[in-house]
Structure 1
């Protein structure tokens, strides 16, 4: 009699499986190569009709995996059979190639065999193994499936009549009853028993073999959901079903009636399911049989396959998966507690789209910030592109493009997934009076209203403007609205980066550190006009070319450290002479996982040195003192208008004028020695 030939499984990997593996590798597995559970599904065998010959062509026995395969409680769609397996991802291609694949395979086969003998449960008969290596930079995935199946010795043979249509053994109404039983299951059992008793056809789990088949039943049939559509070759799951029956019921299974179920729907004409009687000679062997089942590659050889997704992927999606790879790799070995989601969710407002603004925006994007808004009042000039990396020569033509909008558009070209917008806006400033015309007042009021709205919509604000006085209004708004404010300013070879202190939180006062100062806390005069009657070198920021990117990067890194600190905006400055060797040491003392969270950094490029300073808030500060903030909260635009128009207003409001008068009086009361007095004494 002919030996039974089985149609092997063929893996069908959905692209979503590789996308999910990418996320899993970067966010969860990292450097782990542990075995993890995975699931798959298959259906009854299917055929397609050849257009030229009209013949039915059998499709492969596909076992499909997708993104849902990694879900613990995954249930396949109705009508599909669930298969479980083991997934192992290697960290390098060398490890993947050198892996002891025989040991991995035998481990899975032994697991199936032990499960049969100890539980009599058939749920693992379709178990599979999948090993992979994910080249995340090039979007190439190396993989190899194995479907362990036990080898029967001697081989199973099919009766002389061979495999035939199920209608030659069962009546159509019997097949319809079987179909109804299967459709009643949300997830069909891959194996089941069929019997006819007293004119009724019923089915049962294969685990009920002894109790279900009684002497009164007229037929004993073992059935399975057959993924094969080949008329003469049943699907791969039948191999392990035979091994299961021979291991548990050796005296009753020398001859088995087999129904290969291949009908997912009630047929309109012909049933596709097949039937046959198989036999085996000799006694069952003791111990676990040998197993086979590694999948062949497209060349028909035993070897892994490669899925290259790069050519077929949308470039935007490729960028979305790759752009944050560097950040996620930080968490693999260095900083597992790094909260990247907190940084990416932070909405940043950049006031000033010049040299500092461009470099800050690029660094923020590198940290994963996805919402960035620019505010600037000027246009791109010919001197800008060589120093400001978001602009090009063409942006300078025809009078220049508006800087804010141009910078935002360039950010989207760099990475389409960024939410970047620009606003051309002139920020009102102290020392720059607003003309008393209705139009001028309305324009100033609209500018203030727009700036207030932008502050409400963002979490962190960078003050990167050219003049000192242009930073005053944002300083007041940031303090009043409780925003993270970072200020950066450049000299010729020096820079300052400072985070503004926040108002007291709701925690008890004795548990709060002293409030940190702002950009204006060291001043004893109000900000005034620094632009009028200035020479060109005084109006422009004359600085060494390398200083701006250093200061900008420092400001962004300071923001990241603040966001990672448990107290966030209320993070205290480090103690003086803080000397900890790395970020983890500082984190253990209540700091940020990224290290120190200083108040001010002053850089000296001539000495290649940074100095960390801490300054307390000044109760007479014209920018962040409670006197100024409360006046703004009470009077709104009217208070701001006074500050814009009257240079003495802020000094009077905060009491700096009296402090100045007291200082003058103290100087006058000193009995100064005149030059030349007492010369005759020598």
Structure 2
């Protein structure tokens, strides 16, 4: 075994003591935990962090002297594995590979050595000998490739000259009798019980043929009143028969500093406690005598060594590649949110990712908008996505709907809901995606043709109610205006917020529905008040014409500073009830004909609006931001929380209007919600099977039309009389 560079070369007449250096054993769990710490806690912080490793002395012959760091290394105050000694160290995790390479290793070692030397001078090392076993770990974690670069150092103070061996190491069973070995084992166990541990790193020994006594280092003065012979013990992790392990080095420096003037010869017992095939044995421990060299008299810190050699035997770092051995799904889990966590490092430190990731999103519609919304949700780390759609994939879909391919169109086409779920799982196996192939009953689409039709409609309603109850955010992404009516009513009743996206040829609207105030004793989301969503919801629709052209007629004109519970829904700006919008329409009128980029823009904005709502302290009750607020201090770390975003692609412009809820709305007005909550499906059946006049009569829209018409006639008669 080669001597350390810090020790003098052995002369031909003297045999110098050599030590088995530590071999770092960093388990995969350590790198997993470091990855989490780097992303969630350390971020760009390169200051040293306290970590803990351990070593044991029960390894079979042939294994290296290991210092192990595992998943629990970051829990410094946590327990140490049984029959192991703790070693506390400092982690220096750099942000770049260049910083890792450029770190002044010599300075790190010198600083740690000075702390160790000061602990010896002050007596701290006597009171807590564990400080003699400290280490440094310099790392760089490439979290894109899962390559981890590291360099391990165990600082050891050196004597100006080598340590002379007076009596060669011998196996304990050749020096101690069987009785003495048994007594030593019993005495060590008693010392561990006294110290409340299963392993004591350093101890003092006195022995005779009949008895053996052990004590802690701090008891030196009373344990060795006469210094004619001194024996010290070290819990030794080395398995070599002629060499001690690294922990002995700093102990000898401590002895030379504290008692070198009184003792120049020390007997050392390298205590090795091995259990093989259920039988415990310490007979393979070794014992030898050394002469303590003198330390400098000026109290300057001795020279130190300790940086670990690389696998080639040269002074240099090591690298471990975990990308191949790690479970690909676990790699995806930790990598998919990398961009999000990087946001918090510099750009948005206050970003609450947990609220986003834990949000359960229901997507009603798996078409052009649905596919784009789903992809953007996954980009934000949302794990729970549920699709509802009753259509099959046609040949015109894949080019506009990014979750489908040509093969999905063959054989009549796969179910959109099922195919969307399959594709999300292929993109990211960690997503919890569900698909439901079902229809949503609509006003103007009768369901009373037969008992079976009526029964199926009732089942669809019950299923939709269940799904909306189970999710935090509802996205309405269907093709027609009337298909959004029932989800709007259910979501309003259950206090689920909705974000609604609707498309024209080159225009779109993305809006959040007003969140109704909950009855006394019920939280805003109709459930547990601790919900991470805190009352947020969203809805989108893919329709041929954006809603909301009648604000001035209905009285829901544009305002500012409207709180969330007073905001209108998609139907609040309409003065007619929804009906069958596809009847007697040409193909271009039945389909959503829009510029290809429009759905991507609207879908992305719908999700971004949802995330902004989640970041607001009041969730869905947040006051609506308007275009006038663009120059003001934003209410969330991500910016504004508008009621509506109306886009005009022809002039590449967006405006942010806000409008009040309409008391005669055919979807969210009190009279509609009251009938729905009291009568349930009976009320809904009347809406489905009747003409649009049913809802207009119920809400007072019919009377409003009549009054408006009368006022116009009166104005005309006045004009004629002038």
| Of 667, 672, 681, the match for 1:637 | 681
Please give the per-residue CA displacement for 1:20-79, whole angstroms capped at 9, x wherever unaligned.
Answer: 1111111101111001101000000522xxxxxxxxx42110000011101131221110
**Residue of structure 2 equivalent to 1:51:** none
Q: Structure 1 residue 595 and structure 2 residue 648: aligned?
A: no
Secondary structure of the 2:498 match is: strand
Given candidates 234, 256, 259, the residue that maps to 1:246 is 256
Alignment of structure 1 residues 655-666 onto 2, 5 Å: 655-666=700-711
Which residue is equivalent to 2:224?
213
| SS of alignment partner, residue 641 of structure 2 | coil
Write the mapping of 1:302-381 to structure 2, written as runs, cut at 5 A.
302-381=315-394
Cα deviation code 1:312-361 (max 9, x no counterpart): 11111111111000000000001110000000010000001000000000
Counterpart CA distance in 2 for 1:334 and 1:524 is 44
Map of 2:213 onto structure 1 = 202
Residue 180 of structure 1: aligned partner? 189
Alpha-carbon distance, 1:228 to partner: 0.5
Superposed displacement of residue 662, structure 1: 1.4
Q: CA RMSD in A?
A: 2.2
Distance (Å, rounded) in 2 between the aligned partners of 1:417 and 1:576: 38
Cα distance, 1:214 vs structure 2: 2.9
- Choose which of 286, 290, 294 in structure 2 pairs with 1:274: 286
Q: Deviations over 1:148-201 (max 9, x none)?
A: 111113321222444343541352332332343366352412111112379432
Distance in 2 (alpha carbons) for counterparts of 1:226 and 1:615: 76
Between the aligned partners of 2:321 and 2:708, the Cα distance in structure 1 is: 76
> In structure 2, what is the equivalent of residue 504 of structure 1?
517
CA deviation map 1:387-415 (0-9, x unaligned): 00000011101110111111011100000
Partner of 2:97: 93
Please, which moves more after superposition, 612-621 or 638-647? 638-647
Question: 1:290 is matched with which residue: 284, 292, 303?
Answer: 303
Using structure 2 for the length normalisation, give the TM-score: 0.88
Aligned to 1:529: 580
Shift of 1:253: 2.9
Q: Determine which of 599, 615, 627 is the counterpart of 1:564.
A: 615
Describe the shift of the 1:512–1:24 C-alpha distance in structure 2 as closer, same or farther (beyond 3 A): same
In the TM superposition, what are the counterparts of 1:454-493 in structure 2 within 5 Å? 454-493=467-506
Which of 378, 399, 410 is the aligned partner of 2:412? 399
Q: Which among 205, 222, 227 is matched to residue 237 of structure 2?
A: 227
8 Å contact 2:612–2:641 — kept in the other structure?
yes
Whether contact under 8 Å (1:39, 1:74) holds in the other structure is no
Report the CA distance between 1:436 and its aligned residue.
Answer: 4.3
Match of 1:613 among 650, 657, 667: 657
The counterpart of 2:669, out of the listed 625, 628, 638, is 625
Q: Helix, strand or coil for the counterpart of 2:154?
A: strand
Distance 1:282 1:319, change over 3 A: closer
What displacement does 1:651 show? Answer: 1.1
Query: In structure 1, what is the Cα distance between the partners aligned to 2:223 and 2:109?
Result: 34
Helix, strand or coil: the match of 1:73? coil
Report SS of the residue matched to 1:87: strand
User: CA-to-partner distance for each residue in 1:513-554, whole Å, 9 max, x for gaps?
Assistant: 660000000111110110111100000100000100000001
State the match for 2:690 in structure 1.
646
Equivalence for 1:65: 69
CA distance in 2, matches of 1:318, 1:431: 50
Q: Please state how far the C-alpha of 1:504 moved relative to its aligned partner.
A: 2.4
Q: In the alignment, which residue of structure 2 is the partner of 1:190?
A: 201
Cα deviation 1:361-394 (Å, max 9, x = unaligned): 0000000100000000110000000000000011
Segment drifting more, 288-297 vs 38-47: 38-47
Give the drift of 1:283: 6.1
Supply the distance in 2 between the matched residues of 1:105 and 1:492 (Cα, whole angstroms). 68
Distance 1:314 1:363, change over 3 A: same
1:54 counterpart residue number: none
CA distance in 2, matches of 1:73, 1:436: 72
Unaligned runs of 5+ in 2: 1-13, 522-560
- Structure 1 residue corresponding to 2:78, chosen from 64, 69, 74: 74
Instruction: Decide which moves more: 189-198 or 517-526.
Output: 189-198
Is 1:438 the counterpart of 2:451? The answer is yes
Structure 1 position 579, deviation (Å): 2.8
Q: Of 128, 132, 137, which aligns to 1:130?
A: 137
Taking the aligned partners of 1:426 and 1:566, their CA distance within structure 2 comes to 36
Describe the shift of the 1:601–1:424 C-alpha distance in structure 2 as closer, same or farther (beyond 3 A).
same
Given the superposition, is the C-alpha separation of residues 434 and 267 from structure 1 closer, same or farther in structure 2, using an over 3 Å criterion?
Answer: closer
Q: Which residue of 1 aligns with 2:157?
A: 150
2:715 aligns with 670
User: What CA distance in whole angstroms lies between the structure 2 residues aligned with 1:125 and 1:619?
Assistant: 77
Secondary structure (helix, strand or coil) at the match of 2:411 reads: coil
CA distance in 1, matches of 2:520, 2:97: 53
Any idea what the Cα deviations from partners look like across 1:558-596, whole Å, max 9, x if unmatched?
000000011001111125511327xxx31xxxx121110
Residue 663 of structure 1: how far off its partner (Å): 1.7
Q: How many residues align?
A: 659
Structure 2 residue aligned with 1:50: none
User: Are 2:396 and 1:383 aligned?
Assistant: yes
Using the size of structure 1 for normalisation, the TM-score is 0.93
Does the 8 Å CA contact 1:39/1:85 hold for their aligned counterparts? yes
Q: Could you report, residue by residue, the CA deviation over 1:461-515 in whole angstroms, capped at 9, with x for unpaired residues?
A: 111100000000000011101112011110000001110001125799x996660
Offset at residue 310 of structure 1 (A):
0.8
Would you say the 8 A contact 1:478–1:484 is kept in 2? yes
> Could you tell me how far apart the structure 1 residues matched to 2:295 and 2:646 are?
87
8 Å Cα contact 1:169-1:275 kept in structure 2: no
